[in-house]
Amino acid sequence: MKNIEIYMHIPFCVRKCGYCDFLSAPADRDIQEKYIGALEREIQGRAAAYTGASVTTVFIGGGTPSLLGPGHIGRLLDVLRRCFRVLPGAEITMEANPGTLDFDSLSQYHKAGVNRLSLGLQSSWDGELKALGRIHTWRQFLDAYEAAAAAGFSRINVDLMSGLPGQTPASYEVTLRRVAELRPGPEHISAYSLILEEGTAFAARNEAGELQLPDEETERALYGLTGRILQEYGYGRYEISNYAKAGCECRHNVGYWTRENYLGLGIGAASLMDNVRFQNGEDLRAYLEDPLGQRRQEQKLTMAEQMEEFMFLGLRLTAGVGEKKFYDIFHYELEQVYGDVIRKHITRGLLSYQAGTAGRYLRLTERGLDLANYVMADFLEPEFP
Ligand code: SF4
């Protein structure tokens, strides 16, 4: 019987943050209600194709899922459990904005079956939060965090960002330490660099010279701080931007990087199923009318594309990619396909082999992790007999 992961997209936010290019926007209560109804119809309509499958993880992302409230999230999880075989030990994560939580709602989310919370904090400085357009303060985050722990959440991720307007290595270090010193400590911390995405308010302001972003040297210093400080507190880096206490990695995201089957539900949600990639369209009105009729871009991956993805996604993990697994899937030796590229980057100190549970694993070195995009580009368009 096959295992699958499920992602549900909630495309609503209180207001748009200046840097955000996710598929999300403010919407009135009526639209939110209709969206929940459409999502329920999509869950019910898709389920027949996955009757033999076991759901190992569920991730409710957005947007701001916690904007909907526990009634709606509970409803979605109930329908999901009725229509799919969600395993009893499934990891069920919900993203939440600290400005939308209190003890009562958190208790209800927990009761509804959410067992992992991902809190978007970004910074512990109110000035930096304001510059980002976030709706919450550091104090509100602390209250939400404390309430989450009291409501029974033992699995909490905190999202942080570096490279923010006005951020300095000193201010970022304080943020990292404040978060790592929370009690009980979060089991997982994601730390991303701010990227100026086309079409965002930040990109326009940057073009107009109105954004005071850290210079390149400061940015490098910020980047270097994350791993160094978090390591002091017992967090291991297991992916380029993700850190966790031992055994507390996000199972859902690890599945994504190791190319497990996953089904995306809701507007814009992407799926990978038996090496076919497909995605729902992004038009909210069309989705509300016909949630099952929005599947787009169905693409059966060629063997070369599967190999590219295997390397591209797998090398993001610090554990690397297993030679044996590569052979088991593709029936080619890793060296047979990528020998030249691997030798080139081993010579440059960017890749190395390490012994693991099932033979040798190829992984990015510390320096390789910093230059991951450059290394990974060489794994595109593999040639094999
Ligand atoms: S809360 Fe998250 S999804 Fe919503 S606008 Fe801000 S960054 Fe984007």
* pLDDT digit string, tens, across residues 4-31: 999 999 999 999 999 999 999 999 999 9
Mutate to test the pocket of ligand 1, among 16, 94, 267 (most ligand atoms within 8 A of CB): 16
List 272's β-bridge partners, or say none.
Answer: 262, 277
251 and 346 share one domain? no
Domain closes at, from 255, 272, 307: 255
Domain closes at, from 203, 230, 255: 255
List 352's β-bridge partners, or say none.
Answer: 363
* pLDDT digit string, tens, across residues 234-257: 999 999 999 999 999 999 999 999
* pLDDT digit string, tens, across residues 115-172: 999 999 999 999 999 999 999 999 999 999 999 999 999 999 999 999 999 999 999 9
Q: Indicate which residue's Cα is closest to atom 8 of ligand 1.
A: 20
Which residue segment(s) compose the domain that 370 sits in? 320-385
115 and 206 share one domain? yes
Q: How far apart are CA 214 and CA 280, in angstroms?
A: 37
Helix/strand/coil for 345 = helix
Percent of the chain with pLDDT strictly greater than 70: 100
Residue 265 has pLDDT above 70, yes or no: yes
Number of domains in the chain: 2
* pLDDT digit string, tens, across residues 64-93: 999 999 999 999 999 999 999 999 999 999
357 Cα–ligand 1 center, Å: 39
* Residues at CB less than 6 angstroms from ligand 1: 13, 16-17, 20, 22, 24, 62-64, 97, 120
Query: Of all atoms in ligand 1, which is nearest to the CA of residue 133?
Result: 6
Q: Is residue 304 part of a domain?
A: no
Rounded to 10°, the helix 169-180/216-232 angle is 20
Q: Indicate which residue's Cα is closest to atom 2 of ligand 1.
A: 63
Q: How far apart are CA 303 and CA 330, in angstroms?
A: 8
Residue 1 has pLDDT above 80, yes or no: no
Contacts of 292 (CB under 8 A, 6+ apart): 41, 42, 45, 46
87 Cα–ligand 1 center, Å: 30
| Nearest of 325, 303, 320, 299 to residue 384 by alpha carbon | 303
Q: Is residue 99 part of a domain?
A: yes
Q: What is the pTM of this model?
A: 0.97
Q: Is residue 308 part of a domain?
A: no
* pLDDT digit string, tens, across residues 295-311: 987 999 999 999 999 99
Task: Provide the CB-side half-sphere exposure for 8 (13 A, CA).
Answer: 29
Q: Is residue 233 part of a domain?
A: yes
Asked, as a colleague might, if the bond just before 184 is cis with ω within 30 of 0, I would say yes
248 and 384 share one domain? no
Q: Read off the tokens for 279.
A: 């995605």
The band of 384, judged by pLDDT with boundaries at 50, 70 and 90, is confident
- Residue 383: its pLDDT value, please? 86
Q: Is residue 385 part of a domain?
A: yes
Query: Of all atoms in ligand 1, which is nearest to the CA of residue 20?
Result: 8
Q: Is residue 313 part of a domain?
A: no
Mutate to test the pocket of ligand 1, among 22, 190, 192, 200 (most ligand atoms within 8 A of CB): 22
187 and 333 share one domain? no
The mean predicted confidence, pLDDT, of the chain is: 97
Q: Is residue 76 part of a domain?
A: yes
Percent of the chain with pLDDT strictly greater than 90: 97
243 and 333 share one domain? no
CATH number of the domain bearing residue 218: 3.20.20.70
Domain closes at, from 219, 236, 255: 255
Average pLDDT on 278-295 reads 97
Q: When comparing pLDDT for 87 and 385, which is higher?
A: 87
12 Cα–ligand 1 center, Å: 9
73 and 200 share one domain? yes
109 and 198 share one domain? yes
Contacts of 317 (CB under 8 A, 6+ apart): 238, 239, 254, 257, 258, 363
Mutate to test the pocket of ligand 1, among 21, 24, 200 (most ligand atoms within 8 A of CB): 24
Helices (DSSP H) in the chain: which residue ranges? 29-47, 70-83, 103-112, 126-132, 138-150, 169-180, 201-207, 216-232, 251-257, 284-289, 303-314, 323-330, 334-347, 366-370, 372-377
- Residue 385: its pLDDT value, please? 79
Contacts of 186 (CB under 8 A, 6+ apart): 145, 156, 157, 158, 179, 180
The band of 36, judged by pLDDT with boundaries at 50, 70 and 90, is very high
Q: Is residue 296 part of a domain?
A: no
- Residue 274: its pLDDT value, please? 96
Give the strand pairing for 188-193 and 242-244: antiparallel
Instruction: Please measure the distance between the N-terminal and C-terminal CA atoms of the chain and give it in whole angstroms.
Output: 33
88 and 187 share one domain? yes
